[in-house]
Structure 1
Amino acid sequence: MTPLHAPGPTRISVVTPVYQGERTLPVLAEEIAALATTQTSPEGHEWVVAEWLLVFDNGPDGSADVMASLAEAYPFVRPIWLSRNFGQHAATLAGMASSGGDWIVTLDEDGQHDPRDIGVFIDVAMREQAQLVYAEPTNPAPHGALRNLTSRGAKWFFSIFLAGGSVTTFQSYRLVLGELGRSVAAYAGAGVYLDVALGWVVGRHAHAPVALRSEGEERRSGYNLRRLLSHFWRLVLSSGTRALRLVSVLGAIFAVAGVVFAIYVVIATALGAQTPVGWTSTMVVALLGTGAILLSLGVIAEYLGVAVGMAMGRPPYLITSDPQNGPLARRPGRR
């Protein structure tokens, strides 16, 4: 796609995956409309929202109708229709692939993030020469304490054990160089975790301080426990072979523990001591060993599943025309 870059302010493409934004999108549209004219960041950089790409991910509410009405009301709104529900990261990739701005901003539909903070992102990117800038919340997320705790724990686990400490934190509110984001969207495979894919190619990333807003009581989060666990598991699988290395480490730990226990039993028996060998200890060892084996096989099977899906050509997303204006919308007697 021909880039939107031209002399003048930095042009921003805002990408929003839409699942259940029927009530939140109109308010967000008013905020972004105020940014469709030239803005000046706190450090003096000029920028403008050139397009807002709304990617319909086939949610359960009336988001499609809201998107269509916003496209009629605002010239900068570009609806993108997916053939089915592919998930937030796939929808974001579809929007990034369809964008043309100098920079791409990914912004959730729930109103938790303030679009006016884009200027802060740009300042951080220019000051630190970063290709990717993540939001750094200055206040707790407006979720339950358990969800916030598990979210921080998952990101810490990924940073330490799966990313080698190269990633400290990441958020869905991010600014990424346009050509870099479009390239990632072009080659990312099915089931990929967007932040992992970005980490493969980004030379330098930074963080911008932002304040999180409440999502509002009218909108219920689309992420239940099952979705959140699936989200984390995709993060693990997208991290490459590090999870397999952890499995190898787990096997080595159990092997060493078995050798140490065997030496202990032999020595204790030779000295005439009472050794804890019996039905209970045998069952404990058997259960632990079986659990480790099944866990290892499960991780390997998941990797094989991802590889098979990619080998079969499974697309991460598929863009279609507006279903309300396509062949499915035709009525008897209508041409």
Structure 2
Amino acid sequence: MKQTTDSTRQLSIVVPVYNSESILPKLVEKIFVEAQKEGFSEQFELILVNDSSPDNSWEIICDLAEKYPFIKGISLRRNFGQHNATMAGLNHVSGDIVIIMDDDLQHPPEAIGEMIAEISSGYDVCYTHYLNRKHPLWKKLGSRFNDWASAKFLGKPEGLYLSSFKAMSREVVNEVILYDGPYAYIDGLILDVTRSITSIDVEHQPRLQGEGNYRLFNSISLWMKMATSFSVSPLRFASLMGFALSLLSLIMIGIIIIQKLTDPDMAAGWASLIATILFIGGVQTLCIGMIGEYLGRTYLKLNGKPQFTVAALTWKKKEQRKRANP
């Protein structure tokens, strides 16, 4: 669909990059074709954020930035994770519409036009809902759990899938980047800012090459970030568990006293005693762990743990060369 634009309107696309040296040229080509279709060939930037990838992704980004003037490359000093790398890109965008997508071409660039149309129609955010997902079973089950948890902890609208392929208005981006904490969770930040959200269906594509970088540990870490950085629900859960256990203990004490009074010769139950101690100890450890997560994140935030640190910018290199060779 052809998007009508004025002469000052600009599109920014942010792509966090990790282990994708062989995919990047094809990704850039397909994105540029779609940007041209939508009339953004002159008002368009593609920001590729190298999240300290161990392969030659940064060298490829530098080569692409020399070839295509619309490409901006950012290299981070160490691996900060997908969401923090995306935040690094968002802090450097200049577009009125900003799209975030992965680097593996599982997100079809052909959907860019429809996403732009939704933002242009007045929505603040446009998510994508994957059809025929190409993820393994454990990741699909994890997504369902994350969907449930997001609804409970973040107040996510029912039926909305929080995909990593999304578009935002510049106003929302300006609010999102105000967050400077070390544990960025972009969907949580978005839901804190707006409820003017829509979604479109896209066909999920197979990864062009290699395997995905997200493992089970990464998914668990991301869930913990969501649960403890943008909601106090886990603390409330711990409080409710403590109250419930206290009430249960009082009831059990009452039952034991009554049994002892009615049957003085009743033998003490060692197995039930040990089971009760282990259960209560486990719940206490869980609650202390939850509190520790909050305290730990607060401690790191107060001590200035960085959200990301930038090692190099391709456009700065170009400026330095121009000054050296006027």
TM-score clears 0.5: yes
Q: Give 1:316-327 correspondences, 5 Å limit.
A: 316-322=307-313
- Residue 322 and residue 10 in structure 1: after superposition, are their counterparts in 2 closer, same or farther (change >3 A)? closer
* Partner secondary structure for residue 153 of structure 1: helix
- Residue 13 and residue 286 in structure 1: after superposition, are their counterparts in 2 closer, same or farther (change >3 A)? same
- Residue 67 and residue 194 in structure 1: after superposition, are their counterparts in 2 closer, same or farther (change >3 A)? same
Aligned to 2:24: 25
Aligned to 2:306: 315
Q: Which amino acid aligns with 1:291?
A: G
* Partner secondary structure for residue 307 of structure 2: coil
Aligned to 1:99: 93
Aligned to 1:248: 239
Looking at structure 1, the residues matched to 9 and 99 of structure 2 have their Cα atoms a distance apart, in angstroms, of: 12
How far did 1:80 drift?
0.9
Looking at structure 2, the residues matched to 300 and 107 of structure 1 have their Cα atoms a distance apart, in angstroms, of: 34
Structure 2 unaligned regions, length at least 5: 318-326
Runs of 4+ aligned residues of structure 1 deviating over 6 Å after TM superposition are 273-276
Aligned to 1:332: none
Aligned to 2:194: 202
Count, aligned residues: 310
- Residue 214 and residue 146 in structure 1: after superposition, are their counterparts in 2 closer, same or farther (change >3 A)? same
TM-score (normalised: structure 2): 0.87
* Partner secondary structure for residue 258 of structure 1: helix
* Partner secondary structure for residue 172 of structure 1: coil
How far did 1:187 drift?
2.5
- Residue 268 and residue 104 in structure 1: after superposition, are their counterparts in 2 closer, same or farther (change >3 A)? same
Looking at structure 2, the residues matched to 219 and 277 of structure 1 have their Cα atoms a distance apart, in angstroms, of: 61
Which string of whole-angstrom CA distances, capped at 9 and with x for unpartnered residues, describes residues 111-136 of structure 1?
A: 10111201222333344x32111111
Q: Which amino acid aligns with 1:175?
A: A
Looking at structure 2, the residues matched to 276 and 179 of structure 1 have their Cα atoms a distance apart, in angstroms, of: 70
Which string of whole-angstrom CA distances, capped at 9 and with x for unpartnered residues, describes residues 26-74 of structure 1?
A: 11111012123252xxxxxx65670000001101211111111111221
* Partner secondary structure for residue 58 of structure 1: coil
How far did 1:238 drift?
1.6
Looking at structure 1, the residues matched to 129 and 25 of structure 2 have their Cα atoms a distance apart, in angstroms, of: 26
* Aligned pair partner of 1:211 in 203, 210, 216: 203
Aligned to 1:82: 76
* Aligned pair partner of 1:189 in 163, 177, 181: 181
* Aligned pair partner of 2:114 in 106, 117, 120: 120
Looking at structure 1, the residues matched to 47 and 162 of structure 2 have their Cα atoms a distance apart, in angstroms, of: 22
* Partner secondary structure for residue 14 of structure 1: strand
2:101–2:107 Cα contact (<8 Å) kept: yes
Looking at structure 2, the residues matched to 276 and 38 of structure 1 have their Cα atoms a distance apart, in angstroms, of: 82
- Residue 263 and residue 158 in structure 1: after superposition, are their counterparts in 2 closer, same or farther (change >3 A)? farther
Looking at structure 2, the residues matched to 304 and 124 of structure 1 have their Cα atoms a distance apart, in angstroms, of: 40
Looking at structure 1, the residues matched to 264 and 31 of structure 2 have their Cα atoms a distance apart, in angstroms, of: 76
* Partner secondary structure for residue 321 of structure 1: strand
Looking at structure 1, the residues matched to 211 and 110 of structure 2 have their Cα atoms a distance apart, in angstroms, of: 24
Structure 1 unaligned regions, length at least 5: 1-5, 40-45, 327-335
TM-score (normalised: structure 1): 0.85
Q: Give 1:102-251 correspondences, 5 Å limit.
A: 102-127=96-121, 129-139=122-132, 141-160=133-152, 162-166=153-157, 168-216=160-208, 218-251=209-242
- Amino-acid identity (%): 28
Aligned to 2:322: none
Which string of whole-angstrom CA distances, capped at 9 and with x for unpartnered residues, describes residues 264-298 of structure 1?
A: 33344444499795111111111111111111111
Aligned to 2:276: 285
2:128–2:199 Cα contact (<8 Å) kept: yes
2:24–2:60 Cα contact (<8 Å) kept: yes
User: 2:62 matched to 1:63?
Assistant: no
* Partner secondary structure for residue 176 of structure 1: strand
Q: Which amino acid aligns with 1:238?
A: S
1:9–1:47 Cα contact (<8 Å) kept: no
How far did 1:164 drift?
3.5
Q: Which amino acid aligns with 1:31?
A: K
- Residue 214 and residue 274 in structure 1: after superposition, are their counterparts in 2 closer, same or farther (change >3 A)? farther
How far did 1:239 drift?
2.0
Aligned to 2:47: 53
Further displaced range: 55-64 or 245-254: 245-254
